[in-house]
């Protein structure tokens, strides 16, 4: 084998192991207070359904670290999920056609992580006897998806200090 043939073989082998990814805009609030704007790399296909992996699924997978491409930088950095408070993505990055067709019940919540307060809806896609907010918080997965219109806030559960259900008709808190 000549020198050039070996490099072609390596390139071919590497291409076979490449997992196609989709870049999605995201804002990350880190535990130290830094806010990073950029893009996350979501797998272009999911194991459990047709289409790309949803942001909520991706953040709740077992991997402790993930690549993040900050705006204005040419190379990604690696972030530790345990040091992330919230990852905010466009609702389109978390689109779930099946859930939209079924229309699981949603509950309005106010989530606090220290001084940070988020308000939105959480989907309660669980049996009726496990449909409390407490049940949702205690189910497997490290991140809770708080849906606020066109944005989804993936909140690290271990960073949540308080969750409440606003009274019906209560005004939304101002930022």
Q: Where are the domains of the chain?
A: 3-164
What is the pLDDT at residue 44?
76
Q: Can you give the pLDDT at residue 20? A: 75
Q: How far is Cα 83 from Cα 66, in angstroms, rounded to an integer?
A: 11
Tokens in use for 140?
Answer: 């497997």
pLDDT of residue 75: 93
Walk along the chain (175 residues) in steps of 10 and give the mean pLDDT of each run. Answer: 49 57 91 96 74 84 93 94 96 67 80 95 77 87 94 96 82 50
Q: What is the pTM of this model?
A: 0.78
If we measure between CA atoms, which residue out of 49, 40, 131, 148 comes closest to residue 97? 49
Cα 108 to Cα 60: distance, rounded to the nearest angstrom? 21
The structure tokens listed for 133 are: 């907010």
Note the pLDDT of residue 83: 97
pLDDT of residue 15: 53
Report residue 67 CA to chain centroid gap: 13
């Amino acid at each position: 084998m000549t020198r050039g043939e070996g490099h072609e073989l390596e390139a071919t082998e590497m291409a076979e192991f490449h997992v196609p990814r989709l870049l999605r805009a995201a804002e990350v609030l880190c535990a130290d207070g830094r806010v990073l704007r950029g893009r996350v790399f979501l797998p272009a296909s999911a194991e459990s359904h047709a289409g790309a992996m949803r942001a909520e699924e991706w953040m709740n997978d077992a991997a402790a670290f993930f690549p993040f491409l900050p705006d204005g930088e040419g190379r990604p950095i690696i972030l530790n999920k345990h040091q992330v408070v919230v990852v905010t993505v466009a609702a389109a990055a978390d689109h779930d056609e099946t859930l939209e067709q079924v229309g699981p019940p949603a509950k309005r919540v106010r989530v606090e992580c220290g001084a940070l307060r988020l308000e939105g809806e959480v989907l309660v896609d669980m049996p009726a006897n496990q449909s409390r907010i407490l049940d949702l918080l205690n189910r497997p997965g490290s991140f809770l998806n708080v849906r606020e219109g066109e944005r989804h806030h993936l909140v690290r559960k271990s960073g949540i200090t308080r969750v409440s259900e606003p009274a019906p008709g209560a005004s939304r808190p101002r930022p």
